[in-house]
Structure 1
Amino acid sequence: MTHLAEKAFLGSLMKSEYLLKDTVVQPGQLESTRHQALMRKMVEYQLAGKHIDLITLTTLPNLESFGGMSYLSELITHADLEKFESIEKLLLDLWKEREKRSILTLASVNDWEIERVSGELDKISHLQMDNHTSIQRALMTIYEAPWENLPLNNGISTGFKELDEITGGFQEGEVTIIAARPSMGKTDVMLHFAKVIGWAGYLPLIFSLEMPEKLVTSRLVASTGGFNRGKMRDPKQRLSQRQKDSWAAILGNLTHTNIQIFDGAGQTIPEIRANTRKMIHQYPQRKPVVFIDYLSLIHTGHTKGGNPHQQITEVSKSLKTMAKDFNCPVICLAQLNRSVESRADKRPMMSDIRESGSVEQDADVILFLYRERYYDKSSMNFSLDFIISKNRNGPVGTVSVKYNEHTGEIVEKNESDLPQASDARDEEIDKQEGN
């Protein structure tokens, strides 16, 4: 199959030599050494201003090494200009497979580290050639738009109507940064989004670089069941009988989210990409959504003492590339620096993000989290504010939701009961039951 495809490719180049300037296939990506040498000669002739048709190629000084006049004539018979793009793609796919096998062989012989193997395979897998769209093709996709009932929000819902209205939800190929001071509620927000997205039929992939899987799972159970997180340290002793009775249903409900947790410390972008790709193959019916906790903990592979700004810049750009390559949303948490604490107005701003320049440039959406009770424990304001400071494809603004810092529950503002109130009821029931 490879040999025939290469014949069709070279024959097409000879028949319509303009294709040589446009093709994305390089001589070294052909399998046959004879075909590689012939294509190099074609490139050489074209650069010299010569034609690469059958007549000109018959003047090659060592014509017999290319199969002679008869072989060049045979190549012409295999030309297929209508299927040229498909032939290019086939040749690249076959080359990728050969390269992958070669990399695995080298890795085995030279005992490469898994990170290097993953990185090299990733480079091959994501070499793209189909990134071109003509205006005619682009316009055809929206030709019926004025007469079609298109959904108002084609993104993945955040679970909050007002936030969806402003941001459009999480969009494929986009990076969302959720930034806040420590203990403001970043992880609870991430887990809430992951649950909502999972229940909606997507595949939430959580890369927890700081918190171990057991603690992530514990938080998921607490927020879903409305349990005070302190009780999760010893459920047998601390949960009320009513809470124990609901335990199985809560776990069953969480099972349906299909959340996947990767909790290795110091994970790199190539490792995150490799695991994402593995999950895509394992769950082909579910669209992935990547969550990373958090930005500055992503390992770049550089030795200690490297420039932090350069490292964050590298990671930030890699996140955007990953979102585009996998055509999925990437949601990454980020810490704010201490400068916010020195201001009278504690509401965060863009400059509060550590190494903010590259993050601000690469992110499509930036959400800051702010809670009044974080700074004033006596406040009865249980709101959590999403401050939308950057929205590449829409407006900015602020959306408030209700947040229970004890359980991690987050609900819409218009829901009748405050999460704090439900937690207080549980505590009162516990006292009555003697727990």
Structure 2
Amino acid sequence: MTTTDTPNQKDESLLALTLRQPPANVEAEQALLGALLTNNRAYDRVSDFLAGEHFANRVNGQIYEAIARRIENGQLADPVTMRAELEHSGILASVGGMAYMAKLLSSMVGIINAGDYGRTIHDAWIRRQLIDIGENVVNSAFGTTMGLSGQDQIEAGEEALFKLATEKGNEGDFVSFNKALSGAISVAAQAFQNEGHVTGLTSGLRDLDKKTGGLHPSDLLILAGRPAMGKTALATKMAFSAARAIMDEAEETGEKPKGAVAIFSLEMSAEQLATRILSEQAEVSGERIRRGDIGQKEFDRFVRVSHELARLPLVIDDTPAISLSAMRTRCRRLKRTQGLCLVVVDYLQLMRPSVGTRPESRVLEISMITQGLKAIAKELEVPVIALSQLSRQVESREDKRPMLSDLRESGSIEQDADAVMFVYRDEYYLQQRMPKETAFESMEKYSVAMDEWQRKMSLVHNKAELILEKQRHGPTGTINLFFEGEYTRFADLDTIHQEH
């Protein structure tokens, strides 16, 4: 048997809600200020996370800021030295003047307890911020915020919570060099024990792993190139190789995969991306797959490979124009439920910044996105590979190999990235310069030009360059790769056995 509240009971409940006071501990604020005024060394215990805005009582916050200013300037902050500033500014006028200072001194706690009182004040501030966020979510849901859909409101609420979680105060501390050395030795030992000396996730490309040591947690890697260079194919190769390595490790240990590889495909659908991977692994042309122009043996191989790939810890999100806040939320959820080892974004110019932000320019918008992607990499401790378009100025040069200055709406792309890589295929540009018979006076000259063109084409056929232009933790340089256009497949280039 269920019971329902009467109208009077509901009214009383609503009244109780409206009469509730926001979390605050004024006594703790007064006790901490008393400790600071008595012994300035107490400031060292709270200065790294506590600010004047965290105090519930506005006057207490202003007094704290005044004390902090003097201490930061190397001056003594006690009732005598503070008196002139507090009286002149009128801060104490609303609380009884200098008599309030006496009250603070009588409320003081020892320097040992100052940190605990500071954290109590800070925790109450966080709770007040949560109440404000909750009220904003409720008001938006009631329709007071125009122009935001229900999904936008969810993302705005998540963004506000994330901002509070990341900006609530810097409570970090120094790490002893001994501890840092232990971590460095652990990484070196892992590299020594691993085949190929790879400390991070493998990219599936031998020569790239040699230069980078693999894909490392917290790193943002930018993979850029002009259209038709193979950015998506190369990023897909890396994602697939990482997922297969994760699966192989899980099978060796008899445990579940330690995490998934997430691909955010803003340009291609999940089906198109899956077809590319299938085409590469089954060695069946994607174009022929779409046309249905395949034989029974190829179809059987296609199905067999698809069953093998279905076991891989690889997930695809093909939401178009996904916002940074939505991406962050989905990555955090995936890490919590399944584990997360790598994030691939194809590509960053198609993303939207967090809901509620309105950048003044496209450059600033892209900067916010790259900073957000770097924050995701650091927070979730996973490598993030973000694809990027290059500006058209590449096409106007004789040598069309990309440079850092070619990054489109670059802003802070170069600054935020731990590594910047460009994919380049000379074959693509040379193919467009195929001699035309009508452009020559005689067949003899045309034949000479065609022979020269074919000679150059043979030198670059099925070859690509991965130009590692920036790497924060290691060397730069050009890595030669094998590229098979029919299957949009990248692989290591075997320069010793090219003739085979």
What TM-score results when the alignment is normalised by the length of structure 2? 0.66
2: distance between equivalents of 1:91 and 1:24?
Answer: 13
Give the equivalent residue in structure 1 for 2:321.
Answer: 266
CA deviation vs aligned residue, 1:381-426 (integer Å, no higher than 9, x gap): 21222111111221111112222212123222249999xx9xxxxx
Provide the identity percentage: 22
Give the equivalent residue in structure 2 for 1:427.
Answer: none
2: distance between equivalents of 1:131 and 1:26?
Answer: 12
Secondary structure of the structure 2 residue equivalent to 1:182: coil
Q: CA deviation at 1:47?
A: 6.3
Q: Quick check: 1:342 aligned with 2:342? A: no
- 1:9, 1:79 within 8 Å by CA — same for their partners in 2? no
Give the equivalent residue in structure 1 for 2:466.
Answer: 386
Q: CA deviation at 1:4?
A: 11
2: distance between equivalents of 1:276 and 1:407?
Answer: 30
CA deviation vs aligned residue, 1:38-92 (integer Å, no higher than 9, x gap): 566555667687648xxx9xxx9569xx9x989x76x849974676787688667
Give the equivalent residue in structure 2 for 1:433.
Answer: none
Q: Quick check: 1:371 aligned with 2:411? A: no
1: distance between equivalents of 2:283 and 2:33?
Answer: 67
CA deviation vs aligned residue, 1:354-406 (integer Å, no higher than 9, x gap): 23453222222111112232123463421222111111221111112222212
2: distance between equivalents of 1:304 and 1:105?
Answer: 22
* Structural mapping, 1:220-235, within 5 Å: 220-234=277-291
1: distance between equivalents of 2:367 and 2:186?
Answer: 44
* 1:8–1:89 Cα change, 3 Å: same
Q: CA deviation at 1:194?
A: 1.2
* Structural mapping, 1:7-406, within 5 Å: 14-15=34-35, 18=40, 19-20=42-43, 22-26=47-51, 29=54, 43=65, 51=78, 76=109, 80=113, 94=127, 97-109=130-142, 110-111=144-145, 112-113=148-149, 114=152, 115-127=155-167, 129-130=169-170, 132-134=172-174, 137-143=176-182, 150-152=189-191, 153-199=198-244, 200=246, 201-234=258-291, 237-283=292-338, 286-300=339-353, 307-356=361-410, 358-377=412-431, 379-380=457-458, 381-406=461-486
- 1:122, 1:273 within 8 Å by CA — same for their partners in 2? no
- 2:278, 2:306 within 8 Å by CA — same for their partners in 1? yes
1: distance between equivalents of 2:299 and 2:124?
Answer: 59
Secondary structure of the structure 1 residue equivalent to 2:487: coil
2: distance between equivalents of 1:329 and 1:156?
Answer: 9
The amino acid of 1:177's aligned partner reads I
Q: CA deviation at 1:179?
A: 1.1
- 2:418, 2:470 within 8 Å by CA — same for their partners in 1? yes
Mark the runs of 5 or more structure 1 residues left unpaired by the alignment.
422-435
RMSD: 4.4
2: distance between equivalents of 1:357 and 1:3?
Answer: 41
- 1:12, 1:79 within 8 Å by CA — same for their partners in 2? no
- 2:218, 2:382 within 8 Å by CA — same for their partners in 1? yes
1: distance between equivalents of 2:350 and 2:473?
Answer: 28
Q: Which structure exhibits the higher relative contact order, with contacts defined as CA atoms closer than 8 Å and separated by 6 or more residues?
A: 1
Secondary structure of the structure 2 residue equivalent to 1:101: helix
1: distance between equivalents of 2:25 and 2:314?
Answer: 42
- 1:400, 1:413 within 8 Å by CA — same for their partners in 2? yes
2: distance between equivalents of 1:251 and 1:289?
Answer: 22
The amino acid of 2:352's aligned partner reads H
What TM-score results when the alignment is normalised by the length of structure 1? 0.75
- 1:126, 1:325 within 8 Å by CA — same for their partners in 2? no
- 2:366, 2:411 within 8 Å by CA — same for their partners in 1? no
Secondary structure of the structure 2 residue equivalent to 1:232: helix
2: distance between equivalents of 1:161 and 1:87?
Answer: 53
Secondary structure of the structure 1 residue equivalent to 2:271: helix
Secondary structure of the structure 2 residue equivalent to 1:22: coil
Aligned length: 405
- 1:207, 1:261 within 8 Å by CA — same for their partners in 2? yes
Secondary structure of the structure 1 residue equivalent to 2:482: strand
2: distance between equivalents of 1:410 and 1:338?
Answer: 24
Secondary structure of the structure 1 residue equivalent to 2:336: helix
* 1:149–1:358 Cα change, 3 Å: closer
Mark the runs of 5 or more structure 2 residues left unpaired by the alignment.
1-21, 71-75, 84-93, 192-197, 247-257, 432-453
Secondary structure of the structure 1 residue equivalent to 2:485: coil
Secondary structure of the structure 1 residue equivalent to 2:321: coil
- 2:367, 2:410 within 8 Å by CA — same for their partners in 1? no
CA deviation vs aligned residue, 1:156-181 (integer Å, no higher than 9, x gap): 22122221121232222222111111
Secondary structure of the structure 2 residue equivalent to 1:388: strand
Question: Which of residues 409, 415, 419 in structure 1 aligns to 2:489?
Answer: 409
- 1:99, 1:124 within 8 Å by CA — same for their partners in 2? no
Greater shift, 271-280 or 242-251, is seen at 242-251
The structure with the largest alpha-carbon Rg is 2
- 1:175, 1:331 within 8 Å by CA — same for their partners in 2? yes
The amino acid of 1:295's aligned partner reads L
* 1:13–1:162 Cα change, 3 Å: farther
- 2:229, 2:425 within 8 Å by CA — same for their partners in 1? yes
* 1:410–1:89 Cα change, 3 Å: farther
2: distance between equivalents of 1:289 and 1:416?
Answer: 32
